[in-house]
Amino acid sequence: MRLRAALLSTALSIAVAGCGAASGGGDGGQKRDAAQPPAPSSSTSPDPAAEAAKIAAGLPDVDLVGQLLMPFAYGNDAAKVSDGSRAGNQKVGGVDTPAQLVERYRLGGLILVRRASGDATAGTNPTSNIDSPAQVRTLTGGLQQAARKLPSRAPLLVGTDQEHGTVTRIRDGVTLLPSAMALGAATDPRLTEQASQVSATELAALGINVDFAPDADVTGGPGNDVIGSRSFGANPALVGQRVAAAVRGYERAGVAATLKHFPGHGHTSADSHEELPVLRQSRSQLIARDVAPFSAGITAGASLVMTGHLDVQAVDPGVPATLSRKVLVDLLRGQLRFKGVVVSDAMNMAAITKKYPAGEAAVRAVLAGNDILLMPPDLRAAQQGLLGAVRSGRLPRAQVVESATRILTLKTRLAATSQPAMSALNTPTNRARVGAAAAGAVTQFRGSCGGALIRQPVRVTGATGKHRDALAAALRRNGMRVDASAGETIHLVGYGEGAKDLQPAGVTVALDTPYVLSSARSPVLLAAYSGVPLSLEAVAAVIAGKARATGRSPVTVAGLPATACR
């Protein structure tokens, strides 16, 4: 395998050259670690984990610690950035460009984000380093070129949150999936698997090898709306089934899947972006209702598990799960037997930053069992905190070597997959596969099933102009007359504040969680759980009578059946 050969070559070259890497951290100190990597005994070793362990054990401390860091870098290009991005990188790490950040901090990975309105996680995204598919591919290529110059010569883990639905980082030029809750409503889990494989193939074409998805949280209902439609549903068995299907789709396409937010963020009313949520379930309830889908995803082969910033009262009260060995070592690695990479949720979230400064939080998170620290709020402080803890003995070097070994082993496996061409993006085949999932999700809660659901002409109201225009165009393609000033009303209910926008209509359509439909008085109620174009196309076909709503709500909507169309 290519990375295995690179790792072997690296071990030999570092041993001969004496590493030549600073161990003084991001300040560029010149002192070298005394330990040198052993030369490999054989270039045909069948055990990549063993070879990764040799490399990790011999890396200088700064390179070893660097493998554990996955920050955000400012700029849409690895080497050429705007003045604003240069200033951002100077603040983050005293450098100008993303490539320099990789070099100075010997980074093991970087995250790509896009700050957008309507995104539930926008508060922790400082800005965007995602613009277009072509730009992302150029950026990731430049970042990997920078990584190849490091002593480890291992490729970067390049991650993003492409959950689809409300948390979608890449929105242009790719096939957009409906939300997780939509996939939960589609009764065939194979639709989840094929849609996830489409998404992963397109991410791989862009140079992204880690997706922080699928969300394995089980939603507790309308009172626990922090996760909302990011969850597949309220039934642990259904969620576990869809999680496993998504994992198979991602991993088959060569993208590492990440289960989040362990041990489960679905039964919370607080948002860990703003405060530390408290889980008050008993241990038995926690295992049965929240942890079960994570177990299913682990069995399916998920490469990573993301920790949640959650106070799990039944396991380690008062301690965020991200900082708890009882949660990450005893429960996740012990009881669930997870052998892969543990990545923290963003370390710049208030649930962590309110408790500890960046350096101390980084040390505590690694001591607790995290392998990768995502988006530390102060990269220099996190790096120096870890280096100081290793040198003082507070953080055993052997534990950091174990984490780096898991990371390098994952990189070995990911590097064995060829990068798809850009022509793999948003193809007719991809749209057809995802369209089948979107169509399978449409759920009818009220009204006669079969045939056109409303008289013509029709007009579309609610949500955003983009949603209205897309549905109107889809209705016309399905043979319906649309008149913006007359006719029966089809009203779209959107996300967030838009979910409160209920008006009298012939048909009301929920484009996010369907709970709002319990208050709607329309004779026909539909849920698409998502406002992506393929979901609106599916809704149009149902309204026009060209298709039947076959979805079944994966959550309970007060006063309404799971489906009116049996």
**Alpha carbon distances (Å) from 154 to 4, 10, 56, 145, 342:** 9, 9, 11, 10, 19
Enter the DSSP assignment of 396.
-
Q: Give the integer Cα–Cα distance in Å for 372 and 436.
A: 36
Q: What secondary structure does DSSP assign to 316-332, as a single string?
A: STTSBGGG-HIIIIIII
Beta strands in 310-381 (DSSP E): 311-312, 341-343, 373-374
Contact 339, 409 (CB under 8 A): no
Pairing assessment for the beta strands 278-279 and 311-312 based on DSSP bridges: parallel
Report which DSSP code applies to 531. Answer: -
**Would strands 210-211 and 256-262 be described as parallel, antiparallel, or unpaired?**
parallel
Q: Are 55 and 9 in contact (CB under 8 A)?
A: no
Q: Rounded to an integer, what is the distance from CA 446 to the centroid of its chain?
A: 34
Question: What CA–CA distance (Å, rounded) separates 115 from 474?
Answer: 29
Candidate list 77, 345, 371, 378, residue with the active-site label:
345
The two tokens of residue 139 are 């950026």
Tokens of 30: 């010149």
* Residue 345 a catalytic site member: yes
Q: Which residues pair with 458 in a beta bridge?
A: 482, 488
Cis preceding-peptide flag for 261 (omega within 30 of 0): yes
Beta bridge partners of 262: 307
Contact 399, 496 (CB under 8 A): no
Query: Would residue 273 show up in a list of annotated catalytic residues for this protein?
Result: yes
Find the catalytic residue in 164, 261, 267, 273.
Answer: 273
Q: Looking at the annotation, which residues are catalytic?
A: 273, 345
